[in-house]
Amino acid sequence: MIEIRKVARHELSQVLDLVKQLALFEKAPQEVTVTLEEYERDFEDNIFDALVALDNQKVIGIALYYIGYSTWKGKMLYLDDFFVLPEYRNQKIGEKLFNVIIEEAKEQQCNLIKWQVLDWNTEAQRFYQKYNAIIEKEWWNGKIILL
C-alpha cells in the first residue's frame, strides 16, 4: 500500500537522495550542490514543502514545491522536483502525487501551477498532456548561480 502525504523532517535525507537520482536521470548530477543541512534549515523556515510517496516508510516518490507569485496570474505553486523511482513507475504513483499537488494548490488558493520539463523527456511531456497542461516552448530559462 503506497501512502502519499506531506514530508516529515526526518525524511528529508531520503528526499535529497531522490533529488540526486533525478539529477542523474537529467544528466546533471554535478548540479546538486545543496546539503542536507540546507534542506533541513529551509524546510524549517517554510521555504519549501514536499509530498512524498512511501512504500513501508521508504520514500519512493517526491513532489517538492514552494509557493511563489506570478505577476500575470497571482499566487502560484511552483513544482520544482517531481520524481518516482524507476522501479515504481507505471503503478499510477506519479498520477496520485500530481493529483495531490493539484489539490494542495487549490487549498493554498493558487491560480497557477508551474514547472519545467526537459525537451527530450517525452515520457514526462505525455504525462503532463493528460492533464491538459500547457507546455511553453517559446520561453527560455535564465539563472545566475551565486555559490
What positions carry a catalytic annotation?
Answer: 128
User: CB of 94 within 8 A of CB of 82?
Assistant: yes
Q: Quick one: DSSP state of residue 109?
A: T
How many angstroms separate the CA atoms of 78 and 76, rounded?
Answer: 6
How many angstroms separate the CA atoms of 123 and 45, rounded?
Answer: 34
Cα 125–chain centre separation: 15
Q: Report the amino acid identity of residue 67.
A: I
- 74-84: strand order across its sheet: 2-6, 49-55, 58-70, 74-84, 112-114
How many angstroms separate the CA atoms of 43 and 29, rounded?
Answer: 22
